[in-house]
Structure 1
Amino acid sequence: MRLSLIVNGQSRTLEVQPEATLLEVLRDHLRLTGAKNGCGEGVCGACTVLLNGRPVRACRLPAYKAIGQEVLTVEGLSLREKEIYAWAFTSAGAVQCGFCTPGMVMEAKALLDRNPDPSEEEIRQAFKGHLCRCTGYQKIITAVQAAARALRGEIKPDQGEEAGMGRRFFRPEAPAKVLGQAIYVDDLVFPGMLYGAVLRPPYARARLVSLDVSPALQIPGVVTVLTAKDIPGERYQGLIFKDWPALVAVGEEVRYVGDAIALVAAESPYIARKALESIKVEYEPLPPVTSPAEALAPGAPSLHPKGNVLSETRILKGNAEEALKSCAYVVTNTYRTPFTEHAFLEPESAIAVPEGEGLTIYTSTQGVYEVQEQIASLLGLPPEKIRVINQYVGGAFGGKEDLSVQHHAALLAWASRRPVKITLSRRESILVHPKRHAMEIKLTTGCDEEGRLVALVAEITSDTGAYASLGAQVLERACTHVTGPYRIPHVKIYGRAVYTNNPPAGAFRGFGVPQVTFACESQLNLLAQKIGKSPWEIRWINALEPGDTIATGQVVTEDVGIKETLLAVKEVFESSPYAGIACAFKNVGLGVGTRDIGRANLVIREGKVLIYSGAACLGQGLESVLIQIVAEATGLPAEKIEVVLADTALTPDAGITTASRQSLFTGEAVRRAASELARELKEYALEELEGRTFAGEFYGVTDPINSGKEHPVTHVAYGYATHVVILDEEGRVSKVVAAHDVGRAINPLNIEGQIEGGVVMGLGFALTEDFPVKEGIPQYQQMGRLGLFRFTQVPRIETILVEKGGTQYAFGAKGLGEIASIPTAAAVAGAYFRRDGIFRTSLPLEGTPYRRRKKEEE
């Protein structure tokens, strides 16, 4: 179809597919990549552009409907507008992963063009069609208000604070993200690039009887079709356990609906999809195993050679069962939490490019070295033949630790000897990548007459789905944290992770701890009621203090700050009859005896310090953290310091970005390297050190669970938090106060954004997000049905930063990314319990205004 458009003031005539959307035309034909494809459903707002000044969702608008109309993208803003919006969003801390931000900017422009001075409520209403999984929305509202004032000439953009510890230093990458200049994987195009697609089964469990790909090979434009027999190396991969086939072979069982059967590479996405439809497949459907109870039942089919139990964890401290007999009060309940979808705004994408005797993979991942190791194994190549380059990552939250598209793009590129891109649709993303574990937690908790905890017995069953992913490690973390940040002399914990034919479950922000915190904190609310103490008081008298031991036997030291967070929220909790409270603690680093190393090299080049580290930046602000650490150690200004994105050919292995570890682990590695540089700077100017490299490494030595040591070090550090949730008269959340012991606050602006985003994610976990699975098949396969919180639903969020001592590493910093979302759901449950007296034991909570509305919408 011949298409004539006016885009950013220029007339353009193009030949496009008749069914092309405006977004496809902008991105694929005009290379205007500021607008992003986050959902393809018109519900996330990442693709927002203006059509005759009106905001539209370009992913849903047929391109022909834009004929004769003025199309404006973020690239077409005036220089003054670009300066103001870049400053406003950066200074407000409204940019994290940045994938959704250009769409927000275009919505802001449309609003401010028609209303130069909108109220907060008008901003919320204008942005109700936008999703952001990172920021929690509050700072986006602040950004729009700042932009409005600047456009009216009332204020001028500034540069923020200088780099250094404790400074509200502006993220250096934020302006590029705001203006659509930051490059994400799907923004890249290579000469001769093919487009990959993956055939997946309609069943959660079935035997693959036959597979005929010859019809696909006959379609013009199809270059390569691959099946399991075409894999040159190890077909089964996985982060820890190698139990996940890159392609299911004929004669094998399909274990979930996201399994891969065949791969196609073609000259266009349209041809690739057409080729998939032509492949002839015969399945023998088998009854799926849809729950841990079914998987553990006598006679259940064995889903893996090792059986249906992935792992077990046992923790003993004292004699819990005997101690319960002496308790004045004992409560026992079984709690249930659902699968949850990560819903990062950037769908999975990878491009594999043949180079010499190997491949270069451009991707969006939490660990470039983990991708390198698995792809090298898959192709039967030495790791040095595989180069993995991380682009900007559009959100992850644990959901980009496993292979998703990288291995399939690599196989197709290796076979075709041409670059191959695979980008998942939102539906594919929901079907394919691991979720938060659904858990059943049976918990017995006992205390004495004064409310002092005496004993806890826990049995935790985790649905790890079709493949291991990080299920064993998530279970471990659930077991080590089910006691909460409390002094409990007697503990008995048993957990097991069970295979089913449900979607795999793996890492998700909090790593098993949000689930068990909901159970632990709910138990405390019941005990408080029984003994006649307030929910705050029972937490205060049991909160960990220096010298206490946790369930694993680790002694907490002077950096424990749970009591300080409780004091910080005492007044606000006691001022409302409808307030709920919950505490949490969360490990920093992999711990439990796992080899855990942060690394960084500082290279002096052209009068600047370049920070090389394989640590993945996911939107959490790692770039600014590392720059601030170097600035603090050396006294150098920020403009002399840059961060290089993770690249296995350039940056040292700093471990995967998980377990809230990078600020401490890679931060400490950078501090050590910067300390060496600082010593040299006492004698030499920076320019005189041209070409020098200063290397830093930090190894967090820990002990395994049940190591036999009297006082093991299970983790190098822990963060602590207390959240208070306040309901209004209608039963809606009106305010959340989140107090966090962060050690030393490297960048308060970043920390506030992390906490606000974590709180909103926790609110969704408590109230609206669900992921029902029937016969192994997810029932919600669209982003719009996931129940994600939106602008109009978010309450006021107040953050309180407690800087209690800190660690001995990274100038005292602790990790924060996970704990920000952990106590919220439990605090919400506590608030409703106080309001209506109904004790709820499953999430999302039933009988709230949020669930009633959701059911009506469905």
Structure 2
Amino acid sequence: MHLQLLVNGQQREVDVNEEATLLEVLREHLRLTGAKNGCGEGTCGACTVIMGGKAVRACRTPVARAVGQEIITVEGLTPREKEIYAWAFTAAGAVQCGFCTPGMVMEAKALLDRQPDPGEAEIRQALKAHLCRCTGYQKIITAVRLAGQALRGEIEPYRGEPAGLGKAFFRPDAPPKVLGEAVFVDDMQVPGMLYGAVFRLPVARARIKGIDTTVARKQPGVVAVLTADDIPGKRYQGHIFKDWPALVAVGEETRYAGDALALVAAKSTREARAALDFIKVDYEELPPLTSPEEALAPGAPALHPRGNLLSETQVKKGDAEAALRSCAHVVTNTYQTPFTEHAFLEPESALAVPENGGLTVYTSTQGVYEIHAQLVSLLNLPPDKIRVINRFVGGGFGGKEDLSVQHHAALLAWATQRPVKLTWTRRESILCHPKRHAMTITMTTGCDAAGNLVALVADLVADTGAYASLGAQVLERACTHATGPYRIPNVTIRGRAVYTNNPPAGAFRGFGVPQSNFAMETQMNLLAAAIGLSPWQIRWQNALEPGDTLATGQVVSEDIGIKETLLAVKEAYESSPCAGIACAFKNVGLGVGTPDTGRANLAVEGGRVRIYSSAACMGQGLESVLIQIVAETTGLPAEVIDCVLSDTALTPDAGCTTASRQSLFTGEATRRAAAALAEALRGRTLAELEGRVFRGEFHGVTDPLNSTREHPLTHVGYSYATQVVLLDDAGKVSKVVAAYDIGRAINPLNLEGQIEGGIVMGLGYALTEDFPLREGIPERQTLGRLGLLRSHQVPAMEVHLIEKGGTPYAYGAKGVGELATIPTAAAVAGAYYRFDGKVRLSLPLEGTPYTRG
């Protein structure tokens, strides 16, 4: 149908499908990509525009309804509005991945247009239709208040602090994210581009007898249909274990409902998806194994050639079984934690473009070199023929480490020799990508009469789902951190990661430690009750100190700040009879003997310094961290420093953005390169160094788990935290007070936002988020049913940054991305234990005001 629309003050004519939404027309026809497609169901708010003076969800608005109405997108803000909103969100630290931010800005504009001076409650209510998985909302609310003040003329936008260490330096990537100018993969269009779609079965486990694509190939707009036979290289890929088929072949079994059987490339997304209905698969449905117990049972079918046990981890120190017999108090419980969904706001997307006899793949990933290696193997091409480039990454939290859409877009592009973009719907994202591991943890903890911990015995069983992903490594971290940041002389821990026909489980913020932390911290509360000690006191007297040894044998270094975090929250804890407390620690870097290198090159180009590193920024503010390190080391102003991240053709391999490692590893590599630049600048100008490149590397050398060394170095560093959760009289969370030993705070503004976002993620894990499965298939396949907390549900948060020493690297910086989430669920559980005396052994916690009916 032919329509006339009034968009951003201009009349625009479009010819569109009668079922088209306003969002589809804005993005695909008018190329106004500031409004994002985060869910397609009107849940996340990322697509918000103003229509007829009201904020609307463009993904749920039929375009025909927009005729005759004035439509304003983020691109249509006035120059003054753009200046103010970009400044306000940047100054407040309200921007991380940025995918949701333009929608928030348009909601804020609609609010401030009708109510120039809203209170906090009004702002929270206005934003309740929006989701943000990064920030925790608190800084977004501050940003809206700042914008209102500036629009009323009460304040003028100001600059951030200079780019030195410890400064609230304004991150350079914030303004383009606020204004919708940052390019995410699904924003891209190139000439001749095709669109990809993937065929999957509606069951978790099936034996494939035949695949017929004859009719599908003849459908309108279809250019290619591919099956496993069309893969030129190695079909099985994986982040570490090569156990995941890019396409399941005839004669094989599918292992979960997300398995791909065929790919379609067509001239439009509608045509590609329509053609899927014409692919005919002959299959035999098989009973799925939906629990580790079923998978480990005698006679269970083997889901992989290696069997159903992916990995086993053992941690032993002293003689825990014997020591338990001497304890004055012993507590044993079995804990259950669920699968949970990452729910990053940007669904997975990739654009593969044939060029120079190879492929350039634009994507959104936590590690471009990890994707590059698998694409080289899959396509059987020389490494120099594949180039992987990150566009802006709209959140990750561990969920964008594995192949998702990149290999399928690449296969279609290689087969057609045309560009192909493949973007998952939100349903596909929920169905397919790896989740947080569900775990069953049986733990026995004993102490003496004074409350000093003596022994711990734990058995952990992790449901790693259909494929390995990072399941073995997640299990390992869950085991090595199961003791908490406490002195325990006798420890025996056994962990098993088990294949099932559930969705794969892999990396997720905290990497297995939120699960074991929930168990250990609950045990601490029960021991405290048995002895008559305060939960704060039992943690204080057992907290690690310099010279103590971890369960792995590593000696605790002088930079440990766990006791300082306990002191920072003591008053808050003691202020309420219904406060819960939990401590946590988390490694920085891959550790356990795994090769781990950060790299950065500093090039002097055009009188400027350009930082090159493959490290991915998925919202944590890595670009500003690296710029601040260079500025601190060289004395150069930020205005002459740029950053180029995540391009395998331009940037050195700095490893995956995981394990809270980039500030330390790539930060130290950057510092070393900057030190060489600073030396070269003595008596010279940048102009005199034109063309010079200064390279930095940092190798984090560690020992494997169960090393025979007397005092192995399991990890290069650890961060520590304590959180206190306060309940009101109705049993709702009213405030979270959190203290973090993060070494040197390079940018406190960015750090606080990360921590607040991590706390809110932890609150959801504790109270509202679940991921129930039926016969291995997720029951909730929309964003709106996942239980994600919104702005009006989030409590006040108070963050204390403890800067105690830090590592010898990157000016003492330690990571906080994962740690921020780990202790929250346990602290919430502790608060409810004091509130009603009930011991809750599973997540999300039952019998709270947040419990779903």
Under a length normalisation based on structure 1, what TM-score does the superposition of the two structures give? Answer: 0.99
What is the one-letter code of the residue matched to 2:225? V
Q: Secondary structure of the equivalent of 2:60? A: coil
Whether contact under 8 Å (1:233, 1:380) holds in the other structure is yes
Q: Secondary structure of the equivalent of 1:359? A: strand
Q: Secondary structure of the equivalent of 1:336? A: strand
Q: Which residue of 2 aligns with 1:352?
A: 352
Q: Which residue of 1 aligns with 2:497?
A: 497
What is the one-letter code of the residue matched to 2:384? E
Residues 132-171 of structure 1: CA deviation (Å, up to 9, x unaligned): 0000000000000000000000000001101010000111
Residues 446-501 of structure 1: CA deviation (Å, up to 9, x unaligned): 00011000000010000000000000000000000000000000000000000000
What is the one-letter code of the residue matched to 1:362? Y
Q: Which residue of 2 aligns with 1:599?
A: 599
Q: Secondary structure of the equivalent of 1:43? A: coil
Describe how 1:188-267 pairs up with structure 2 within 5 A: 188-267=188-267
Residues 199-228 of structure 1: CA deviation (Å, up to 9, x unaligned): 011110011111100001111211010000
Q: Secondary structure of the equivalent of 1:628? A: helix
In structure 2, C-alpha distance between the alignment counterparts of 1:723 and 1:759, rounded to whole Å: 9
In structure 1, C-alpha distance between the alignment counterparts of 2:719 and 2:66, rounded to whole Å: 51
In structure 2, C-alpha distance between the alignment counterparts of 1:529 and 1:383, rounded to whole Å: 60
In structure 2, C-alpha distance between the alignment counterparts of 1:784 and 1:129, rounded to whole Å: 10
Residues 594-634 of structure 1: CA deviation (Å, up to 9, x unaligned): 00000000000111110000000100000000000000001
Q: Which residue of 2 aligns with 1:372?
A: 372
Q: Which residue of 2 aligns with 1:757?
A: 757
Describe how 1:74-85 pairs up with structure 2 within 5 A: 74-85=74-85
Q: CA deviation at 1:555?
A: 0.3
Whether contact under 8 Å (1:391, 1:645) holds in the other structure is no
In structure 2, C-alpha distance between the alignment counterparts of 1:73 and 1:656, rounded to whole Å: 35
Q: Which residue of 2 aligns with 1:619?
A: 619
Residues 686-712 of structure 1: CA deviation (Å, up to 9, x unaligned): 121111100000000000001111100
Q: Secondary structure of the equivalent of 1:849? A: coil
| Correspondence 1:361 to 2:361 | yes
Q: Which residue of 2 aligns with 1:522?
A: 522
| Correspondence 1:845 to 2:842 | no
What is the one-letter code of the residue matched to 1:470? L
What is the one-letter code of the residue matched to 2:406? Q
In structure 1, C-alpha distance between the alignment counterparts of 2:317 and 2:306, rounded to whole Å: 30
What is the one-letter code of the residue matched to 1:764? G
What is the one-letter code of the residue matched to 2:592? V
In structure 1, C-alpha distance between the alignment counterparts of 2:700 and 2:549, rounded to whole Å: 20
| Correspondence 1:574 to 2:553 | no
| Correspondence 1:71 to 2:71 | yes
What is the one-letter code of the residue matched to 2:6? I
Q: Secondary structure of the equivalent of 1:156? A: coil
Q: Which residue of 2 aligns with 1:635?
A: 635
Whether contact under 8 Å (1:589, 1:665) holds in the other structure is yes
What is the one-letter code of the residue matched to 1:353? V
Q: CA deviation at 1:250?
A: 0.7
Q: CA deviation at 1:435?
A: 0.1
Deviates more, 1:333-342 or 1:675-684: 675-684
Q: Secondary structure of the equivalent of 1:600? A: strand
Q: Secondary structure of the equivalent of 2:673? A: helix
Q: Which residue of 2 aligns with 1:173?
A: 173
Residues 526-568 of structure 1: CA deviation (Å, up to 9, x unaligned): 0000000000000000000000000100001111110000000
Q: Which residue of 1 aligns with 2:130?
A: 130
In structure 1, C-alpha distance between the alignment counterparts of 2:335 and 2:167, rounded to whole Å: 42
Q: Secondary structure of the equivalent of 1:850? A: coil
Q: Which residue of 2 aligns with 1:299?
A: 299
Describe how 1:783-802 pairs up with structure 2 within 5 A: 783-802=783-802
Q: Secondary structure of the equivalent of 1:59? A: helix
Q: Which residue of 2 aligns with 1:646?
A: 646
Q: Which residue of 1 aligns with 2:423?
A: 423
Whether contact under 8 Å (1:659, 1:818) holds in the other structure is yes
Q: CA deviation at 1:384?
A: 1.5
In structure 2, C-alpha distance between the alignment counterparts of 1:297 and 1:270, rounded to whole Å: 45
Q: CA deviation at 1:385?
A: 1.0
Whether contact under 8 Å (1:600, 1:695) holds in the other structure is yes
Q: Which residue of 1 aligns with 2:22?
A: 22
Q: Which residue of 1 aligns with 2:715?
A: 715
Q: CA deviation at 1:763?
A: 0.1
Q: Which residue of 2 aligns with 1:732?
A: 732
In structure 1, C-alpha distance between the alignment counterparts of 2:584 and 2:270, rounded to whole Å: 49
What is the one-letter code of the residue matched to 2:631? A
In structure 2, C-alpha distance between the alignment counterparts of 1:384 and 1:544, rounded to whole Å: 49
Describe how 1:373-452 pairs up with structure 2 within 5 A: 373-452=373-452
Q: Secondary structure of the equivalent of 2:781? A: coil
| Correspondence 1:140 to 2:140 | yes
Whether contact under 8 Å (1:352, 1:360) holds in the other structure is yes
In structure 2, C-alpha distance between the alignment counterparts of 1:169 and 1:45, rounded to whole Å: 28
Describe how 1:651-730 pairs up with structure 2 within 5 A: 651-730=651-730
Count, aligned residues:
853
Whether contact under 8 Å (1:764, 1:788) holds in the other structure is yes
Describe how 1:470-509 pairs up with structure 2 within 5 A: 470-509=470-509
| Correspondence 1:159 to 2:153 | no
Q: CA deviation at 1:645?
A: 2.3
Describe how 1:320-335 pairs up with structure 2 within 5 A: 320-335=320-335
What is the one-letter code of the residue matched to 1:664? L
What is the one-letter code of the residue matched to 1:17? N
What is the one-letter code of the residue matched to 1:503? P
Residues 285-321 of structure 1: CA deviation (Å, up to 9, x unaligned): 0000000000011111110000000000001100000
Q: Secondary structure of the equivalent of 1:484? A: coil
In structure 2, C-alpha distance between the alignment counterparts of 1:571 and 1:687, rounded to whole Å: 55
Residues 164-202 of structure 1: CA deviation (Å, up to 9, x unaligned): 100001111100000000000000101000000000111
Q: Secondary structure of the equivalent of 2:347? A: coil
Q: CA deviation at 1:356?
A: 2.1
In structure 1, C-alpha distance between the alignment counterparts of 2:253 and 2:122, rounded to whole Å: 53
Q: Which residue of 1 aligns with 2:541?
A: 541
Q: CA deviation at 1:119?
A: 0.5
In structure 2, C-alpha distance between the alignment counterparts of 1:223 and 1:398, rounded to whole Å: 34
What is the one-letter code of the residue matched to 2:45? G
Q: Secondary structure of the equivalent of 1:373? A: helix
In structure 2, C-alpha distance between the alignment counterparts of 1:730 and 1:384, rounded to whole Å: 61
Q: CA deviation at 1:381?
A: 1.0
Q: Which residue of 2 aligns with 1:819?
A: 819
In structure 2, C-alpha distance between the alignment counterparts of 1:178 and 1:354, rounded to whole Å: 32
Structure 2 gaps, min length 5: none
Q: Which residue of 2 aligns with 1:110?
A: 110
In structure 2, C-alpha distance between the alignment counterparts of 1:641 and 1:813, rounded to whole Å: 21
In structure 2, C-alpha distance between the alignment counterparts of 1:745 and 1:192, rounded to whole Å: 47
Deviates more, 1:101-110 or 1:681-690: 681-690
What is the one-letter code of the residue matched to 1:350? A
In structure 1, C-alpha distance between the alignment counterparts of 2:219 and 2:586, rounded to whole Å: 53
Q: Secondary structure of the equivalent of 1:387? A: strand
What is the one-letter code of the residue matched to 2:469? S
Q: CA deviation at 1:580?
A: 0.1
Q: CA deviation at 1:352?
A: 0.4
What is the one-letter code of the residue matched to 1:328? A
What is the one-letter code of the residue matched to 1:332? T
In structure 2, C-alpha distance between the alignment counterparts of 1:813 and 1:505, rounded to whole Å: 30
Q: Secondary structure of the equivalent of 1:839? A: coil
In structure 2, C-alpha distance between the alignment counterparts of 1:706 and 1:280, rounded to whole Å: 51
Whether contact under 8 Å (1:347, 1:426) holds in the other structure is yes
Q: Which residue of 2 aligns with 1:290?
A: 290
Q: Which residue of 1 aligns with 2:832?
A: 832
Q: CA deviation at 1:361?
A: 0.2
Structure 1 gaps, min length 5: none
In structure 1, C-alpha distance between the alignment counterparts of 2:309 and 2:139, rounded to whole Å: 44
Under a length normalisation based on structure 2, what TM-score does the superposition of the two structures give? Answer: 1.00
Q: Which residue of 2 aligns with 1:781?
A: 781
**Structure 1: which 4+ aligned runs deviate by more than 4 Å?**
none
Q: Secondary structure of the equivalent of 2:807? A: coil
What is the one-letter code of the residue matched to 1:223? V
